[in-house]
Structures are given as structure tokens and as C-alpha cells.
Homo-oligomer: A and B are copies of this chain.
Amino acid sequence: MTTPAPKQTESLQESLQQVVRILNRHKLVESLVHKQDMPKQELVETLVHRQNLAELEKKLEQLHPADIAFILEALPLPDRLTVWGLVKSTMEGDILLEVSDSVRETLLADMDREEILAAAGQLDTDELADLAPDLPQNVMSELIGSLEEEERAQLESALSYHDDQVGALMDFDMVTIRDDVTLEVVLRYLRRFNELPHHTDKLFVVDNDHRLKGVLPIKRLLVNDPDKQVAEIVAREVVFFQPDDDVGEAAQAFERYDLVSAPVVDSTHKVIGRLTVDMMVDVIREESEAEVLSLAGLKEEEDLFASVWKSAKNRWPWLAINIVTAVVVSRVIGSFEATTAQIVALAALAPIISGIGGNSGSQTATIIIRAMALGQVTAANTQRLVAKEFGIALLNGILWGTMLGLVALLIYGKLGLGLVMALSMMLNFQVAAAVGLFVPLGMHKLGRDPAFGSSVFLTFMTDGMGNLIFYGLATLLLL
């Protein structure tokens, strides 16, 4: 399928603005029709009304499905559904694949059974597998029933893997050849295709049992003499994957070896599918977004125009956990009420200790989490990393601790208070390093993703310990 592509990237913003402009005109007309109920007037309005929708429809036809997906995501729900109703049905499947999960939900909710079946019917089995979790059960079983046997097997295979496994993302569309033919034969064979699978930068060379023997890069096919045998120029060293490999690691391999496509083989080395770079780019983007979202405790990508209620629910779990930890920290401070009553200045100074501790800890955690994600933390170098982070914490503790001790001394004119401030700062830098190091390392040991949830626990520890150290030292040394 050839889809019209825009001439330039800037036009995407312009397209969005054009769509919004037509929509606004359309809504203006609608509100006029509502206000005036003369039948004649209504007729005229309806004509204008139709013109607007026709213009919008024409505009949409010129756009790439990915661009329409972008525009749908940027529109509030009523406008989104107006546009969605005008999209050509042949494009609906591709658009559903492109939009985010939350926006897809709003679009599917607007479609009836037949529309969903028609849209899904245009997709390859691997694409269908991506969509499957969001489709109503009855539509899904009807779809499966309508597939041919091979496709059904492919779909079931794709659905049997977890989201983060290669098997769930691979496609089944590929070109395989034997190595005992000439390039001329390969070229003639390719001409029998109406179209080659997207992202075909290499042909997979297999034996009689469909086992992978190597790959023939298209680049080599094109520059070599057609009389040569495939076996002469086949690349035997191949980066390949297995269906239960982790997609994140596959994406890193694509990045590292600059791959465009790579074969997926089963345990007997038979070629069963293919990974392509476009999917890996999506994986990289999604992983990085998940990390940024999770740092702010957002459960998932939010539809920009979801209801207040729905968005609030997305944000509650993290707020709830933070409130619980904040109350615990509050009780730590509360237990030193007698001390605070005597030295009120503590109340003003304590937040500095806990805040800076949190900052320093999150720096350590970020460095460690990154190194772990890249696979660079090994048994051999962990000790060295740990020593380094405690070293930095010591340096920072002495530097900033002394400085803040002096600030406290300057403001309150009490040497003891300055001393407690400096000491607490130094100790809390050590706590922050310990938490920043061992929370991610520990979560990794437990088989959990260290990027998720570290920040809550980290702040809890640096807040709790920071206050405990500060108020504790003050009680010991100043009372």
C-alpha cells in the first residue's frame, strides 16, 4: 500500500491547524443551526455544514495514517470523533495501530462491530496481535474464525508471547531463498512478487528444512555479478533472535549493529519470523517514555483529553503511596516534639537536610539505573562503583555540609546548631548514596525493573533518615 507522504515535516503542525480551523467553522455552523430553527435557514446551513465536512474529508485523505493518528491525539474527544467518522475506512486499521492505548480506547468505543471487523481485516496478523488486547472478545473470536489456517497459527503464536518478548513483535512477512542458485535466479524470483515486505534489506538464506544458513544483503545482491551463486556472497555471521528474547535487548542490538531487519529463529534454528527497525524504534521510544512517566508516578500514558476523573485515577496510586510515606516521616519529626519546642529553628532547617539528601540520592540512582539498563554493572565492578559513590557523597558531604553549617551559624548565631547541621548533612549524603545504590541494585536482584518505584522509596528513606539524623543529633548534642 502506498500512502501519501507529506513533503516536509513542518506540515504536520500546519495540518493540525488546518483541521482545527475547519472543525471550528463546522462547530460554529452547528451552533447556529441549533439557535435558529427556521427550516429554510436550516437547509442553507446544512449545505455549508456539508461543505465543511467534505473539505475536512478531503484534507484527511491527503494525510499519512501516522499523521491522522497524531491529529486525533491532539483533539478533544468530540472533535476527535468527528474526524474519526470522516476517515476513510481503509485507513482505520493503520491509524488504530499508531495511536496510544488510551486514545485507541476512545476510538474503538465509537465503532460498531462491523466497523471494527472491517478495520482489523486490513491488518497483517502481527499487527492484529498488537491490537488484540483492546478488541472486544466477541469481535476477536469472529476475526480469528475468519482467518486462514496459517494466519490463525501466526496470530496465536504472537498472542502466546508476552509484550516484552520478541515473539510478540515479530512479523511473518519475509523472503527466504536457497544458497545453491545464482543471483540472476534470485532477481527473477523477486520480480514475481507484487511487492516486497517493508524494510527488506536482506533475504534470509535457508536450507531445505527452512533452517537459517545466512543472509543475503540486498546491497550485495545489487553490486555482484548475476552469474555468481548465492553461496559465494552470503553473509554467514548473522545477528538473529529467538522468540523469547527480550525486546529491549533486541532493540539495543539493532542500535548497536545498525540493523534494518533481522531473522527470528526457533529452537531448531528454523526461520519463523522477522524483526524490523521501525518496531525497534517504537520499543526504544516507549521504554524511554515509560521511564519518564514512572519517575512522576504516572501509571500509563494519559489521553491528553481524558476526563478529569480518569486522569486523576491515573495519578492516585503514586500520590497515595507518597502520602503514606509523608505521614510516616511526619511521625518521625513528631516524635521529637519536645526538642523542637526548645529549638524552634530546627523546623526551618530540617527540610534542607532531607531535600538535598533526596537530590543527591536520585543522582546516584540515575547513574546506577542507566548503567544497569546498558548491562554495564557486573559482579566485577560493583564494588568499585559503590566505593566511588560513597566517595562522592563524602566529598559532597564535607563541602556542602560545612557550607550549610556556616549558613545556619550565620542565621541563628549558635555554634551548636551549625555543627549539628554540618554533621547531619554529611551523614545524610552517605544515607542518600546507600539508598541510591542499593535500592536499584536490590530491585535488580529481585528481578524487578530498577527504574520503577525506586524514586518513591528513595525519597522516603532520605526524608525519614534525614529528619531522624538531624533531630536526633540536635536532641543529643543541644539539649
Which chain B residues lie closer than 8 Å to A318 at the CB level? 359, 363
Q: Which of A1-34 contact B (CB under 8 A)?
A: 2, 4-10, 12-13, 16-17, 20, 24
B366 touches A348 (CB 8 A): no
Selected contact of A7 from candidates B219, B240, B341, CB within 8 Å: B240
User: Is A118 positioned at the interface, with any CB of B under 8 Å from its CB?
Assistant: no
User: Is A463 positioned at the interface, with any CB of B under 8 Å from its CB?
Assistant: yes
Listed A/B pairs (28) with beta-carbon separation below 8 Å = A8-B240, A12-B375, A16-B378, A67-B256, A74-B378, A74-B381, A190-B223, A191-B224, A191-B225, A199-B260, A277-B281, A288-B291, A295-B295, A295-B366, A297-B363, A298-B363, A298-B367, A304-B381, A309-B395, A323-B403, A326-B355, A326-B356, A329-B352, A330-B351, A334-B345, A334-B348, A337-B348, A341-B341
User: Is A73 positioned at the interface, with any CB of B under 8 Å from its CB?
Assistant: yes
User: Is A91 positioned at the interface, with any CB of B under 8 Å from its CB?
Assistant: no
B344 touches A296 (CB 8 A): no
Task: Report the separation of the CA atoms of residues A333 and B295 in the bound assembly, to the nearest whole angstrom.
Answer: 28
Selected contact of A337 from candidates B341, B344, B351, B459, CB within 8 Å: B344
Selected contact of A66 from candidates B256, B287, B411, CB within 8 Å: B256
User: Is A237 positioned at the interface, with any CB of B under 8 Å from its CB?
Assistant: yes
Task: Report the separation of the CA atoms of residues A239 and B64 in the bound assembly, to the nearest whole angstrom.
Answer: 11
Which residue in chain B gives the minimum CB-CB distance to A278?
B258
User: Is A253 positioned at the interface, with any CB of B under 8 Å from its CB?
Assistant: yes
Which chain B residues lie closer than 8 Å to A257 at the CB level? 5, 64, 66
Closest 10 A/B residue pairs (Cβ): A288-B288, A347-B347, A334-B348, A296-B366, A308-B391, A74-B376, A333-B348, A258-B278, A66-B256, A326-B352
User: Is A315 positioned at the interface, with any CB of B under 8 Å from its CB?
Assistant: yes
Chain A: interface size category: 35 or more
Task: Report the separation of the CA atoms of residues A75 and B381 in the bound assembly, to the nearest whole angstrom.
Answer: 8
Which chain B residues lie closer than 8 Å to A365 at the CB level? 296
Task: Report the separation of the CA atoms of residues A5 and B392 in the bound assembly, to the nearest whole angstrom.
Answer: 38
B223 touches A191 (CB 8 A): yes
Which residue in chain B gives the minimum CB-CB distance to A425?
B323
Task: Report the separation of the CA atoms of residues A330 and B350 in the bound assembly, to the nearest whole angstrom.
Answer: 8
A319 touches B12 (CB 8 A): no
Q: Which of A64-85 contact B (CB under 8 A)?
A: 64, 66-67, 70, 73-76
User: Is A476 positioned at the interface, with any CB of B under 8 Å from its CB?
Assistant: no
Task: Report the separation of the CA atoms of residues A48 and B133 in the bound assembly, to the nearest whole angstrom.
Answer: 59
User: Is A311 positioned at the interface, with any CB of B under 8 Å from its CB?
Assistant: yes
**CB of A37, distance to nearest CB on chain B (Å):** 29
User: Is A200 positioned at the interface, with any CB of B under 8 Å from its CB?
Assistant: yes
User: Is A149 positioned at the interface, with any CB of B under 8 Å from its CB?
Assistant: no
Task: Report the separation of the CA atoms of residues A188 and B259 in the bound assembly, to the nearest whole angstrom.
Answer: 26
Task: Report the separation of the CA atoms of residues A7 and B318 in the bound assembly, to the nearest whole angstrom.
Answer: 42
A363 touches B305 (CB 8 A): no
Which chain B residues lie closer than 8 Å to A242 at the CB level? 8
Which chain B residues lie closer than 8 Å to A341 at the CB level? 341, 344
A292 touches B295 (CB 8 A): yes
Which chain B residues lie closer than 8 Å to A344 at the CB level? 337, 340-341, 344, 347
Task: Report the separation of the CA atoms of residues A218 and B223 in the bound assembly, to the nearest whole angstrom.
Answer: 13
**CB of A283, distance to nearest CB on chain B (Å):** 10
Q: Which of A324-364 contact B (CB under 8 A)?
A: 326-327, 329-331, 333-334, 337, 340-341, 344-352, 354-356, 359-360, 362-363
